[in-house]
Structure 1
Amino acid sequence: MTTQPAPVEIQFDPDQEFQHDAIRAVVDLFRGQSMAPSQFEMSHDGAQGALISHVGFGNNVMVADEQVRANLDEVQDRNGIPAAFRGLANDAVSTLASWDFTVEMETGTGKTYVYLRTALELNKEYGFTKFVIVVPSVPIREGVEQNLRLLQSHFADLYDGLQYGVVKYDSKDLARLRGYANSNSMQFLIMNIDAFNKTDTNKIYDDTQDSMMGNRPIDFIRACNPIVIIDEPQNMESDTAKKAIAALNPAATLRYSATHRDRYQQVYRLTPVDAYRLGLVKRISVWSVTEELNGNKPYLKVLKVTAKKTTVTAQVEVSVLTDDGVKRKKVNVTGGRTPTDLRKVTDLDNYDGYVVEDINAEGGYIEFTNGTVVAVGDTEGASHDEVQRAQIRATIAEHLDRELEFHKRRNDPGFAPTKVLSLFFIDKVAHYAPDDGKFRRWFTEEYNAAKARPKYADLDLPAADKVHDGYFAVDKKGTVKDSRGSAATADDATAYELIMKDKQRLLSTDEPLRFIFSHSALREGWDNPNVFVICTLNDSKSEMRKRQEIGRGLRLPVDANGNRVTDPRVAKLTVVANEAYDEFAATLQHEIEAETGVKFDKTSIENARAKRVPVTRQPNTINSEAFNDLWARIQHRTTYQVTYSTSDLISNAAARLSRKPSLVGAKIRVVKSDVDITTDGVHADVVAEKSAITVQNSYPIPDLLGNLTRLVPVSRASIAQILIQCGRLGEVTTNPQQFIEQARDAIDQTLAELLVDGIKYEKRGTGTNSLYEMSLFLDEKEREELAARVYEVTNTNKAPYSHVVWDSTLEAEVAARLDAHEDVLVFLKLPRWFLIDTPVGPYNPDWAYIKQDEDGHQRLYLVRETKPTQDTSELRKKEHLKVEFGYAHFAALDDVNFGVIDSADQIAEGS
């Protein structure tokens, strides 16, 4: 017979200041209340007409409403509660809007401990004995019950041996409510909201139940005048739920959550930023497992479907061909009379047939003419299996690395062995539960491969079948099934009860189980402190809220002795996500702002966005001799001619294409970032990257000539010769889109070289449109610009406008230096209408100015472009070409010197 490892007894710290503050915030609301136990009688007529009575005990709240109002003011002032969260009724000055109070505490900081101990403090100071804990789901109910059992001895030590009763509401055992009501000791009743929010079907409202003395079961609760504690109240804000809670006849209602929807009267607040800053939760890292775009498959994700009175539209994310390659883009699509054709939107052949046939708002999906149906939140065209397997591999590696780290520290002073757990959320039980389930199979293969690595030899790892298990709902036939995570069914309860019972055993380092698979049972309510890695496996990006996702692992870990570990080297949570790390951070920040009301400080630029300043013309400059002299030099428009040899284009482009790297399949990239939550926002910084995983596929060859003819200004015949002469058509099936982009790049680069060498600019002469008219300065409307995006000119005789609008910090520095430089007579940021024609589109240079020598005799007429580097070959293709054509344009003008600068120190250079 196998001996089960002894469970780890978690040691609770009773002296955490933030928890004391949260407890006192509620207890102090009732200052002025005296010890006053309450008794009541519930009776019925016996069979022979005799009156049978039962004495019950409840809460007798006598403190005046006005006193609680005053207490509330003091508590809110003490805890710095924002005015928006204070919950005063419009017509209430000295009275309460209601006796509903909220406590906000970040997930993982001991919310359950705080409200249970608050109840004990209320009992100690005021004699209150009856408490009802209302929860929104089965897992939270099971978690609360387990915590009450687990904390019994801890609380007995703190409160002179105090014992309390725990009643979990069960409609099949209603007699327990009589015991709850009749007991004169402290009692907790735990109820799921679904058990009493339907007056027509819930047994708690039935007055014909046996042993209820002709009363409704709920009457026994009502008579106790209980203090109602609501766990996760944001899930119980419907009118039906509110009426059900009011039916309990609460003396007061205390609401505890990290994400309140309605704050009523808030008395304490511990935000995610506070918890992270104070080290009350684990640090967070993210392994981002993402497939890079390749354009060979029609990637499509349906983001949302919106129904209006006369139209139904949808927003989708697709791959789009751009000048910089294939990029993802969000686009709005329509059906009906003007159906969206994604082939035209994306400019990619693989979207042929993706014409919107139907957008179904009720079903939440889009159907295309090729028969493809994609639901909201689902993704088409991604390499699901490859990404999911990479996530499993990354999770196992991260887990074993943590075990190895702790193993190496086993002899460090003050370090105790610490169990590492990893948690997988999966989309379908069928992907794991059967012996041939893909997640089970992949996990076993990847675990065995990792176990065989010499790196982990010292860990003496158990066999694969000992280290993982699933916790799923089970029906009456013993068959595991998907669950919703919130249903109060017996089938779902099996999963919750099992994992709750195992919670402390799982903390033992002698227990081989360390990888836990769950469908939805553990999304809320179950908080094992030693979850160090969380991986969400699904067919698209996680539909779970980020705060809900990381919430299962935020709690500080415990070592083998049951002591909390605050060492930041240990207290770290890693999330393995199928999305980019910056997207993960942005979503997490958005959720924190939306759910908690936290407003992150922005940069000085963003804080100043609301402030705008008027930009006005400065006639002193515009009418000056110096400004007119400068304008006379640069005002000429030009035309250009280009000559090049087609044979040179074909041979040079083919040679360049032949030298391009060999084509490779699409890659899955695995990148790790550390997440930091500060008052500025949620930030993610890359700290590690694994070798990319190549997805091996062979794709059909698209219309190469047709695609390239659209992308480059070269004849179809020339393109055909380039492709033939490059000698690489045999490898196109490996990655057709990559080949198209290589071919486009080779042709564009070759063409650019020929254009730069073969272009010639000359002035347009004296006819119409031959000059940039100075009158355009006077035609421009004076405007307001963002204060954070302008430089205010000091010398009113030096620039045509009062402010210079800049697009980068370098431009701001250049403006300030031009303004201050003694040898600069006049300068201007060239207006957006000052455009030079080039073969790759209009070009708008940055600066024009006059620099004179120290004696004031010689003037230099300078036009400068500000770029991150003076080596224009390092710029993006079009930027590089436009600068090169800029040199050619200004060379055609008289005495104008054009150049590129990457520092404000260079404004005086050039001749």
Structure 2
Amino acid sequence: MHRLDAIDAYNQKLVKKIAVRGITVKHLAGSSAYLYVDGLEIGKGADFPKARVELEVQTAQGIKRQVKRLSQGMNLHDISGGIEAYKGLFIRDVDANRDIVELSNGDMIGAGEVTQDVAEDQKRRIQIREVIRAHLDKERQLFAQGIKALSLFFIDEVANYRDYDREDTLGEYARVFEEEYEAVLADFLGQLDLDDAAERYRKHVEAIPVRSTHEGYFSIDKRTGRSVDGKIAARGDFAGQSDDVDAYDLILKDKERLLSFEEPVRFIWSHSALREGWDNPNVFVMGMLKKSDNTTTRRQEIGRGLRLSVDQHGERMDNPVTVHDINELTVVTDESYTDFVTALQKEIIESLSARPRKASVDYFTGKQIKLADGTTSVLEKSIAQALYNHLIRHDYIDDDGLVTQAYKDGRADGTLAAPTAEMLKPVIDFVWPLVDALYLDLPKPTDGRKPKKIPFNEANFKKREFQELWSRINHKAVYQVEFDSEELIKNCIRTLDKSLNVTVMQYLVEAGKQVVGLEVQQLEAGTGFKVSETKVEHSAVSAGSTVKYDLLGEIAEKTQLTRRTCAAILTGINPGTFAKFKQNPEQFITEAARLINEQKATVIVEHLTYDPLDNRYDSSIFTENQTAQDLSKAGEKLKKSVYEYVVTDSKVERKFVEKLDVSDEVVVYSKLPRGFSIPTPVGDYNPDWVIAFRDDTTKIKHVYFVAETKGSMSTLQLKGVENAKIECARKFFSSLGKSDVKYDVVTNYSELMDLVTG
């Protein structure tokens, strides 16, 4: 069985295990107008060039960062779901030749760049803090064993670490590091055990000034155009002066000195250690203070830390008993833990797909083979041992377990030696594919979930039954509603004071470790890492000062109330409630509007009337502007649907579709496209299903809309806004005056048939 502890990106050896700490913003203030351009592409035909842009988006679960494919003219305020920080901002141009996106405010963002982002500063501080914590944990463990621990930071700009305009030449990251180091170290030392080993470690780290414990090396400082010759602060023996050349030589050339406890440098900063050819066996923690680009893979980056460590005597720490306890690399990244390890496993398995594997008894044991009669059999260890011996005896594998040319030639010519072991003879012809798999290129894993547009069934769409159904419901309408504004204002004030919750910015730190004895199959399945710890960091930073908010206008727009009514509500709430706006402006607006809409929903339905218009929807809404979807959730091809597949979000909905498609009573059905919506005072409503049933004269008998309660919605939303939309839909369909069209809510096919036949 092929085992893998980690891949050395260069020498392809089995080396350190990997642990990952990923930091994700869980609740954004949103006002920083964060934009990150990931990459650009030339469109096909007459398409505009498109850019993959990461930005903040208002979702039902809160503000999240999402990647969107944007082109010239797109409005970022609309794309983001109405985040105020993007108001008036749109894509002026996408220049794929220069990898630049130009915004309407004049900003030019290149691929790999990020706009000013309050959250980014806080994330970097937390990353630096986590690197220091991980370093001290590992260093305390290794110090008594005579092993010096190093940590490596990758940064995206030299000026973030080295600022020659300052007297101390410390860039922003360096200053943050020194602040966090002193705080974390004090807390860490305060929790040490009171034994001799802990006391020796305490004396060692307390003797190292913070300024001496970190160093950077850069072949060229791109910010100033200088090479490595700028003066920096004291280091070495804690006195005197040193310069960039000395730092460069220490880190790049003098490994023995760097790995000595006498040398105070333990934290190393680099712009791109990959290009500068540096690696060190004692890197135990890596901090990725930069965005991953398209030319450097995660596997290449962490390859700088995947080396077996050495002690003070230069002895490699490869004792089989302790090798994996000692040699563990922790990676601290600003990506979520899941995103990072998923991409890392994918990159590793892709590199393995073209790499010869080694034959071993473990590799063959437990493998399935297909016999002549079509049945399968599992190789027991005794047969695996016999096969391995056979390969060795005939020089079909070399001393390293790699398949030789002799096997390849014999396999091609059909002249492979017959086995002498009796247990191997019945299965020998069926085990050769297992040997072939050791050297033949394996197909790279394909992503079957690639989004695609769902094919349209024009024949079902043109059926008379569906066209008659469509003609009956295809009406646009306007509504009128009257309600007591004073009662609504009082209810909203009371609810906001009681239920408005606004949190400060939060960061989820997820830590996970590579599983013991990692196997290739686990990498292929994406299960090579497991989460071991999660914790939440809070930030008191508010981004409110960076964006001017039209608070009344935003809430009025989201609630469809007048500015006067919204002003009466906001001036009536307690000062403490209103003060929550400063904590997180975007969330305040979103949550306040949601609570107001819920109160509004309780009073509108009984006073609501619809007036159908002569205007109708064009049938092109069934085919135009259709988005690509994940067809892995689409199930089997459908026979009676207007669309050949239907993407469902739940097992209940999937079962409902399956029943519809085989029902003798159903002629044709469709999931209504997003373009068809019913206007309501609490937002447009898009019914899910239209279904045409048979009767004795094959005419349309009923139409039903199926509503599904979604787990992401709160109880209040279901009782308030969602229930109001359902009641509005009842009144809309009733206003059409079609006796053979019914509207109702069901959760399964049996309920539907009860309503049809009742």
Instruction: Give the shorter-chain TM-score range.
Output: 0.5 to 0.7
User: Is residue 23 of structure 2 the alignment partner of residue 288 of structure 1?
Assistant: yes
- Against the structure 1 CA distance between its residues 380 and 867, is the aligned structure 2 distance closer, same or farther, given a 3 Å change threshold? same
The structure 2 residue matched to 1:421, chosen from 150, 171, 179, is 150
Residue 678 of structure 1: aligned partner? 523
User: Paired residue for 1:532?
Assistant: 284
Query: Is 2:213 the partner of 1:468?
Result: yes
Equivalent position of 1:651 in the other structure: 490
Contact in 2 for aligned 1:616/1:803 (Cα 8 Å): no
Contact 2:52 2:68 in 1 (8 A): yes
CA contact (8 A) 2:690 2:703 kept: no
Distance 2:637 2:50 in 1: 48
Tell whether the 8 Å contact from 2:500 to 2:592 is kept in structure 1 after alignment.
Answer: no
**Partner deviation per Cα, 1:584-607 (whole Å, 9 max, x = no partner):** 456657866998887653466669
**Shift, 1:382, TM fit:** 1.0
Contact between 1:600 and 1:681, CA under 8 Å: does it hold in 2? no
Distance in 2 between the 1:898 and 1:636 partners? 17
Q: Is the 8 A contact 1:615 1:803 kept in 2?
A: no
Alignment deviations for residues 622-678 of structure 1 (CA, whole Å, 9 cap, x no partner)? 88xxx99x979x979797654422222222223222334465544444333557872
Question: Partners in 2 of 1:428 and 1:441 — Cα distance?
Answer: 14
The alpha-carbon distance between structure 1 residues 109 and 725, as it changes in their structure 2 partners (threshold 3 A), is closer
Contact 2:60 2:712 in 1 (8 A): no
Q: What code does the residue aligned with 2:30 have?
A: G
Q: What letter matches 1:832 in structure 2?
A: L
Q: Give the counterpart letter for 1:815 in structure 2.
A: V
> Which structure 1 segments of 5+ residues have no match?
1-15, 20-104, 112-269, 411-415, 482-490, 853-858
C-alpha distance in 2, partners of 1:726/1:552? 56
Selected match of 1:712 from 552, 556, 559 = 559
Is the 1:315–1:333 Cα contact (8 Å) retained in structure 2?
no
In structure 2, the CA distance between the partners of 1:600 and 1:780, relative to structure 1 (3 Å rule), is: closer
Cα 1:736–1:439 change in 2 (3 A) is: closer
Partner of 1:805: 646
CA pair 747-533 structure 1, distance change in 2 beyond 3 A:
same
Q: Are the aligned partners of 1:600 and 1:679 in contact in 2 as well (CA < 8 Å)?
A: no
**1:574 is the counterpart of 2:330:** yes
Q: Secondary structure at the match of 2:536?
A: coil
* Aligned-residue offset at 1:749: 1.9
Matched residues, number: 598
2:133 aligned residue: 397
TM-score, L = length of structure 2: 0.61
SS in 1 for 2:544: coil
Aligned CA distance change for structure 1 residues 791 and 314 (closer, same or farther; 3 Å): closer
SS in 2 for 1:722: helix
CA contact (8 A) 2:510 2:533 kept: yes
| Residues 687-742 of structure 1, C-alpha deviations (whole Å, 9 max, x = no match) | 43333221424734522223333333111221221121123445544443333223
Distance in structure 2 (CA, Å) of the matches to 1:693 and 1:793: 48
State the Cα distance separating 1:395 from its structure 2 match.
0.8
Superposed counterparts of 1:201-216, under 5 Å:
none
Partner secondary structure for residue 691 of structure 1: strand
In the alignment, the residues of structure 2 paired with residue 851 and residue 615 of structure 1 have an alpha-carbon distance, to the nearest angstrom, of: 20
Aligned to 1:22: none
- Could you say which residue in structure 2 is the equivalent of 1:431? 161
| Aligned twin of 2:538 | 693
In structure 2, relative to structure 1, the CA distance for the partners of 1:882 and 1:593 (3 Å cut) is farther
Equivalent position amino acid for 1:447 in 2? Y
714, 725, 749: which one aligns with 2:598? 749
TM-score by length of 1: 0.52
Q: Per the alignment, in what secondary structure is the counterpart of residue 746 of structure 1?
A: helix
- Counterparts of 1:360 and 1:348 in 2: how far apart (Å)? 25
Larger relative CO (CA 8 A, sep 6+): 1 or 2? 2
Alignment partners' CA distance in 2, 1:296 and 1:519: 29
Of 824, 830, 842, which residue of structure 1 is paired with 2:670? 830
The CA distance in 1 between the partners of 2:554 and 2:260, in whole Å, is 61
Query: Equivalent residue for 1:42?
Result: none
| Alpha-carbon distance, 1:755 to partner | 3.2
Structure 2 CA distance for partners of 1:660 and 1:673, relative to 1, 3 Å? farther
Aligned CA distance change for structure 1 residues 341 and 430 (closer, same or farther; 3 Å) = closer
> In 2, are the aligned partners of 1:814 and 1:907 still within 8 Å (CA)?
no
> Structure 1's 419 and 610: CA in aligned 2 closer, same or farther, altered over 3 A?
farther
Aligned counterpart for 2:707 among listed residues 865, 874, 887: 865
Q: Is the 8 A contact 2:671 2:690 kept in 1?
A: no
**Amino acid corresponding to residue 179 of structure 2 in structure 1:** E
Q: Is residue 446 from structure 1 mapped to residue 446 from structure 2 by the alignment?
A: no
Deviations 1:761-799 (A, max 9, x none): 79x7xx9899x99xx99x999x9x9986665689x8xx5
Quote the residue 1:298 is aligned against. 33
Q: Is the 8 A contact 2:21 2:509 kept in 1?
A: no
Q: Distance in 2 between matches of 1:352 and 1:871?
A: 27
Q: Given the alignment of the two structures, is residue 386 of structure 1 paired with residue 115 of structure 2, yes or no?
A: no
Match of 1:108 in 2: 8
Q: 1:291 to 1:535 in 2, by over 3 A?
A: farther
Higher strand share: 1
1:844 maps to which of 679, 687, 710: 687
Looking at structure 1, the residues matched to 159 and 623 of structure 2 have their Cα atoms a distance apart, in angstroms, of 66
Contact 2:308 2:316 in 1 (8 A): no
What is the rounded CA distance, in whole Å, between the counterparts of 2:728 and 2:349 in structure 1? Answer: 47
Distance 1:793 1:333 in 2: 33
2:154 is matched by which residue type in structure 1?
F
Shift of 1:405: 6.3
Higher radius of gyration, 1 or 2: 1
Distance 2:660 2:91 in 1: 55
Aligned mates of 1:645, 1:907 — CA distance in 2: 37
Q: Indicate conservation of the 8 Å contact 1:790/1:805, yes or no.
A: yes
SS at match of 2:495: helix
Cα distance, 1:571 vs. partner? Answer: 4.4
Three-state SS of the structure 2 residue aligned to 1:108 is coil
Q: Which residue of 1 aligns with 2:388?
A: none
Contact 2:228 2:244 in 1 (8 A): no
- Aligned residue for 2:707, secondary structure, equals strand
Secondary structure of 2:305's aligned partner = coil
Q: Aligned pair in 2 of structure 1 residues 586, 319: CA closer, same or farther (>3 Å)?
A: same
Quote how far apart the aligned CAs of 1:394 are.
Answer: 0.9
Deviation at 1:392, TM superposition (A): 1.2
**Cα deviations by residue, 1:514-542 (Å, 9 ceiling, x for unpaired):** 3333344466533323322101335x667
Alpha-carbon distance between aligned partners in 2 of 1:788 and 1:369, rounded to the nearest angstrom: 38
**Identity in percent:** 25
In 2, Cα distance between the equivalents of 1:310 and 1:791?
Answer: 32
List per-residue Cα deviations over 1:838-857 (Å, max 9, x = no partner).
413242233758899xxxxx
Gaps of 5+ in 2: 220-226, 234-242, 355-442, 516-521, 696-700
Q: Choose from 266, 284, 306 the match for 1:514.
A: 266
